[in-house]
Structure 1
Amino acid sequence: MALPILTVQSDFADVIADVDAGLVPEDRFWLSCYKSGEPSVHAKVHVALDDVDRNLIRFTPKDGDVDFCSYPTKTYTAACHSLDIPPTPILLPTQEYTDTDTRRPRRITAFDISPDKSRFAIGHLDGSLSIHPISPPSSTPKRPQRVNTSNKRKLVSKPHVSNITHLQFFPSSRVLLSSGADFSLSILSTEFPDAWQSSSSETSSLSVSGSRIQPVRVLSGHTRSVTSATIIDRGRNIISSSLDSSLNLWDIPSGSVISTLNSTSPVLCTTIGTNEVLLPPDGEEEEEEKAVGIKRDEMEDEHVQQTVSYAGLQNGSIQVFDWRTRSNFSLSKSSSSAPINSISYLPQQSLLATGSSKGIITLYDVRSLSSSSLPLTSFRRNEAGISDLAFQYCQQRVGLAIATTDGLPFIASIIPEGPGIQTELVGVDCDPVGNIRVVKGDSDDQEEEVWTASDDGIVRRYIL
């Protein structure tokens, strides 16, 4: 299934804000619409104040069969009649975190947000990372609020000698797990110094580049780049994957490998679920008997016995590893055999989503996985690679936040309408978006958030 693309000039909010403030009498920005197999549509949207009501901004599209509307809440929608694209929300970031002291942007290769939403971490190509406090957003921003991350209130470290491939906070939000292309994993404390709670004069002793921290533990055991890692329960054990075609189960206190399972191809991404919903592949019933003969290691948390790893492989297939039975099976390869770059699991609906280097997103029901399983559905927008996926779940509605290498991240609606375009996430100017996270509100009435990190070195926060 081919989904459409609505893309707008990345700084269109600045254009609107300048007209609204009376800095210029009028201006314009571009809007483009695409759909596979159809002619693309390009238009200029003229922006001017209403002749009578000077508090009202008028949008007049030119040279294209499109509509563009705004609402008092500063939300926007765009539509294209000739491509049958209905009015679609265009969402600007509420905040943009950027290091303004850097003349050239430092590409972000890994990103994560702490579970308590107090801090975020970013990793870079040179093996360095930084941890930043999250600032409260402006109440009614007319354009993205720029937050300078180059100030001294950050933690910095260089736990790897080359590219950081993955970051994940432990459930406590005070410990960070990092994976690197140098074959290792590192554990770091993310506790901010007590001095940060004091006045600025008392923090002058901190380095301008931030407070430096060192790993409290380094895990070595893989023979090629570590591509991802997942934390089991509270974090006594973790599971790592690698381009050496293996998954390692680690004991964090001792820093040792408990068990290793081998895959049929280099592993590019993993996520975990529970084996309570996983059926034996192809009707095999002897898996329960196999599990009886496997004694749980004393370093192994009891939750490992209920853990399943879903792995996206370089050969385009998905492999499922059951840590209770220490067994695995592979799903059928897709017709394109494109590498699976990203994978995400939604336990509430037993949904597994994968994204390939050719732009194909595929959905499976894990309750009926087998080596001959057919997907529930698959869709794409173009051939730009899918670099990261994150499910959005609220009141039985399911969305999928999607990061892409063409710099056009979006949220797809999956249940009940989908697949379709739920929201276009704008603000990136053609730079690949490598990481995306969905942050759920503390209660049902609190707004959800989507965070992205891209090659332009900017972390963007979208409030849905």
Structure 2
Amino acid sequence: MPLITLPYISVQPDWDQVVRDVSTNTTPSEQFWVSCYETGKQSVHAKVAVEKSSSPSKPQLKGIEGVEVKPINSISFSLSCPSYSLKDILIVGPKHKLSPFQGKELGCINVSPNGDLYAASSGKDISIGKLNNEQAVRTLEGHLDDVTVVQFFPSNQAVLLSGASDFQVKIWSVLDGSNPVTLKGHTSAITDLDIVGRGKNVLSSSRDGTVRLWHCGTGTTIAVLGDYGTIVNKISVVALPAKYMSVVVEGTDEKESETADKLVLVGLSDGTVRGIHLGTKEELFSTLPKDSAITAIAFDDNTSTLCTGDLHGVVEVFSLSDTSKPLVHWKRNDHSVTALTTRLNENGDRVLCVSNADGSVYQTNSFELVLKQGSVALEVEYTGNELEPVRSMVILPSTETIGFNRIVCGVRDGSINIY
């Protein structure tokens, strides 16, 4: 399967402000730039003219010098570039933008299960705030070094898990800011966290090459999963696929809860992803090693497919029935993949969202089509990150009024963009 090269559309980060300036009569007309890139092709650098129209809330957009555009609303338009055979790619700006750290660097973010609160780190501190209005709730202080990962417990937005470069994992009460439990045992920085079921057990990974299963109530280690001799960058707990359900689980520790039917995906710096049965603690599969560290992983329950992103920008999709080679793989440039996640789009299709260290965030076409055709296409380009690395990407739950998943991106410059 050849490596597919996807195009990259770069748009002036404040293009949506340009549109608002014209729609509010701040200026009668204005322009913003747009560029299209693809490895091996000559780049296209163009402009979009924004002028008043008969509908004040929807100014006229006109592509200049190689692109065609159609306005949709104040934060989105479609773009076509004949030179790249790109047709009606959706360009989307942030619906809301929060700046809780006033210029300080952002480390990571997470969002509460109901989409109400965010937790974001800057240095050693964690800020808790309202996602809809940036109202600060409180600051959690206690880590001795930079916080690298935060995660709300799935059953309770009032409890937060955090890991840091001080080798520690902490459990916090969001209600009063207390830290009743600190989990100690790793010998290097924490790289990732995940929560098992309702949260009696949690998992942590570290630069020390291990994954630890913890009992939250006693703060003790139940098991050390693997000792890989290389950095564990990412972990993810998913439901055990049907093909592994026949594995017999015996001798489970009494402090374990909901581990028998879980699979742990482990992304390593040697370029492999390992699948570990959380009940038996045994490794079930491994992808082949490569010379680029795994930096992002995602799992699609509907199709039992594993998605990986690496340090050199390559995204690969594997079927768990055969992890020896990807079903499809692609890249846009050499910038590291920082996050992967699937979401439901406005048409009800499951799609894959990818963020990179160059600040780009994009969305593929229907994941079902990607698997069926063994190919991939660019569908949406999310803008507004000004070349700053996207540190975290979170999918908000759908609601009765919004039947699709919004995206929340935490950017190094301290901004939180909601699409």
TM-score normalized by structure 1?
A: 0.83
CA deviations on 1:68-105 (whole Å, 9 max, x unpaired) are: 210257531111110111111111111111137x3xx2
How many equivalent pairs are there? 408
- Cα contact 1:385–1:404 (8 A) shared by 2: yes
Separation (CA, whole Å) in 2 of partners of 1:309 and 1:179 = 18
Shift of 1:61: 2.4
Shift of 1:342: 1.0
- Cα contact 1:355–1:388 (8 A) shared by 2: yes
- Cα contact 2:108–2:149 (8 A) shared by 1: yes
SS at match of 2:21: helix
- Which residue of the partner structure matches residue 21 of structure 1? 24
Shift of 1:445: 5.5
Match of 2:48 among 29, 45, 58: 45
- Cα contact 2:213–2:221 (8 A) shared by 1: yes
Matched, 1:333 2:284: no
CA deviations on 1:16-61 (whole Å, 9 max, x unpaired) are: 11122222222111010011111000012122224x7767623232
- Which residue of the partner structure matches residue 373 of structure 2? none
Matched, 1:10 2:49: no
**Which amino acid is the alignment partner of residue 78 of structure 1?**
L
- Cα contact 1:263–1:319 (8 A) shared by 2: no
Separation (CA, whole Å) in 1 of partners of 2:22 and 2:243 = 56
- Which residue of the partner structure matches residue 333 of structure 2? 382
Match of 2:145 among 139, 162, 184: 162
CA deviations on 1:299-343 (whole Å, 9 max, x unpaired) are: 111x111111111101111111112222115534355x2110111
Separation (CA, whole Å) in 2 of partners of 1:229 and 1:278 = 26
Separation (CA, whole Å) in 1 of partners of 2:244 and 2:198 = 26
**Which amino acid is the alignment partner of residue 355 of structure 2?**
A
- Cα contact 2:58–2:71 (8 A) shared by 1: no
**Which amino acid is the alignment partner of residue 298 of structure 2?**
S
Separation (CA, whole Å) in 2 of partners of 1:304 and 1:54 = 57
- Cα contact 2:148–2:165 (8 A) shared by 1: yes
**Which amino acid is the alignment partner of residue 134 of structure 1?**
L
- Which residue of the partner structure matches residue 276 of structure 2? 321
**Which amino acid is the alignment partner of residue 57 of structure 1?**
P
**Which amino acid is the alignment partner of residue 133 of structure 1?**
K
- Cα contact 1:317–1:330 (8 A) shared by 2: no
Matched, 1:134 2:90: no
Aligned sequence identity (%): 24
- Which residue of the partner structure matches residue 256 of structure 2? 300
- Which residue of the partner structure matches residue 205 of structure 2? 241
- Which residue of the partner structure matches residue 272 of structure 1? 237
- Cα contact 1:187–1:217 (8 A) shared by 2: yes
Q: CA RMSD in A?
A: 2.2
Q: Report which of the two structures shows the higher radius of gyration computed on alpha carbons.
A: 1
CA deviations on 1:129-160 (whole Å, 9 max, x unpaired) are: 1110122xxxxxxxxxxx5x4x6x42101231
Match of 1:407 among 359, 383, 387: 359
- Cα contact 1:243–1:266 (8 A) shared by 2: yes
Matched, 1:454 2:414: no
- Which residue of the partner structure matches residue 144 of structure 1? none
Change (3 A) 1:133 1:355: same
SS at match of 1:159: coil
SS at match of 1:250: strand
- Which residue of the partner structure matches residue 113 of structure 1? 111
CA deviations on 1:213-232 (whole Å, 9 max, x unpaired) are: 23121100111111111101
Shift of 1:444: 8.5
Q: How does 1:195-210 map to 2 (within 5 A)?
A: none
SS at match of 2:98: strand
Matched, 1:178 2:162: yes
CA deviations on 1:390-433 (whole Å, 9 max, x unpaired) are: 11146872211212100111122242333221211111111111
- Which residue of the partner structure matches residue 392 of structure 1? 343
TM-score normalized by structure 2?
A: 0.91
- Cα contact 2:8–2:37 (8 A) shared by 1: yes
Match of 1:351 among 297, 305, 323: 305
Shift of 1:117: 1.1
**Which amino acid is the alignment partner of residue 402 of structure 1?**
V
Separation (CA, whole Å) in 1 of partners of 2:144 and 2:21 = 45
Change (3 A) 1:3 1:263: farther
**Which amino acid is the alignment partner of residue 142 of structure 2?**
P
- Cα contact 1:278–1:369 (8 A) shared by 2: no
Shift of 1:346: 1.9
Shift of 1:438: 1.3
Change (3 A) 1:442 1:396: closer
Change (3 A) 1:416 1:307: closer
Separation (CA, whole Å) in 2 of partners of 1:300 and 1:259 = 10
- Cα contact 2:212–2:221 (8 A) shared by 1: yes
- Which residue of the partner structure matches residue 96 of structure 2? 95
**Which amino acid is the alignment partner of residue 177 of structure 1?**
L
Separation (CA, whole Å) in 2 of partners of 1:327 and 1:225 = 24
Separation (CA, whole Å) in 2 of partners of 1:234 and 1:243 = 26
